[in-house]
Amino acid sequence: MNVKNIIKITIVQFNPYWQKPEENRNKIQKLLEKSFKKTDVIILPEMFTTGFTMNVKEYFETMHGPTVEWMKKISCKYNSAICGSIIIREKEKLQNNGKKGYNQGKFKYYNRFIWVNPSGKKFYYDKRVLFSFVNEDKYFSRGDKRIIIKYKNWKILPLICYDLRFPVLSRYQGDYDLIIYVANWPEKRSYPWKQLLIARAIENQSYVIGVNRVGNDNNNIYHSGDSSLIAPDGKVIFTVSQKETVKTLEINKKDLITFRKRYPFLKDREYEYL
């Protein structure tokens, strides 16, 4: 067995305290200490420090703020990458009328997926499709870039919650092995969540992981979790509902490569029409 092909993923499905970043960091730390197994990646839900709040001006952080520093410490402690999304504020960069450098414009707020390696190296992805149904687009700025994170011989595509409904964002371009979705997806729409995770795996012949929260938020919206790991053929390897869970799962890149070679459907895509 080639250990370079194997990656261990730890799903952290929990019920966050509403708008209490420090308490949530402490809670996650206790959950990890209680149930932790050796792993390569720890995945936290969308907006894991606050819940899905639009109070961006009160609960924003920066890329040098307490949560990112906490992620660096956790990553170093467990020798594992850690990822999830939080509210990040940045100043808009404006062109300086043809001169070198930029002027600083107004503040922008992002629902940002942050990935931290044990070395301290960071990667980030800003949510591209904002959930206008609850006015997320009125408070957050839209991301405009797709990123691929290379880690432990794997190529990983990070996406956030509502992105799941738009397959063009995850369309395979020969560039990844695993999709990670972090979410605050309500229980009343859990059926689409579960079916779309399967669909994204099948259409891209990729492993897919969705990590969701559980419990009621401050708007009395209930979340059943349903965090899942899906195989490239669409089979559900693992799923958990209704309860806080820390679960470590193992996947093998060799199985992915074998499956794609056996069923080379992806080569038939007409990319010029996409």
pLDDT tens per residue, range 141-153? 999 999 999 999 9
The answer to whether the beta carbons of residues 113 and 97 sit under 8 Å apart is no
Give me the sheet containing 245-252, strands edge to edge.
Answer: 122-126, 102-116, 81-95, 41-43, 6-13, 245-252
Domain ranges of the chain: 9-261
230 Cβ partners below 8 Å, 6+ apart? 197, 198, 200, 201, 207, 208, 209, 210, 236, 237
Tell me, which fold does domain 9-261 have in CATH? Nitrilase/N-carbamoyl-D-aminoacid amidohydrolase (3.60.110)
Question: Is 83 annotated in the active site?
Answer: no
Question: Is 188 annotated in the active site?
Answer: no
Mean pLDDT of 258-267: 95
- pTM of the predicted protein model: 0.94
For residue 35, the model assigns a pLDDT of 86
The single residue of 61, 83, 161, 194 carrying the catalytic annotation is 161
The single residue of 27, 72, 83, 127 carrying the catalytic annotation is 127
For residue 2, the model assigns a pLDDT of 61
The single residue of 27, 46, 136, 187 carrying the catalytic annotation is 46
Q: What pLDDT digit, counting tens, does each position of 78-110 carry?
A: 999 999 999 999 988 766 655 555 555 689 999
For residue 268, the model assigns a pLDDT of 87
Mean pLDDT of 209-223: 97
Question: Is 127 annotated in the active site?
Answer: yes
For residue 39, the model assigns a pLDDT of 97
pLDDT tier at 3, thresholds 50, 70, 90: low
For residue 22, the model assigns a pLDDT of 98
For residue 178, is pLDDT > 60?
Answer: yes
Q: How does the average pLDDT of the chain come out, rounded?
A: 94
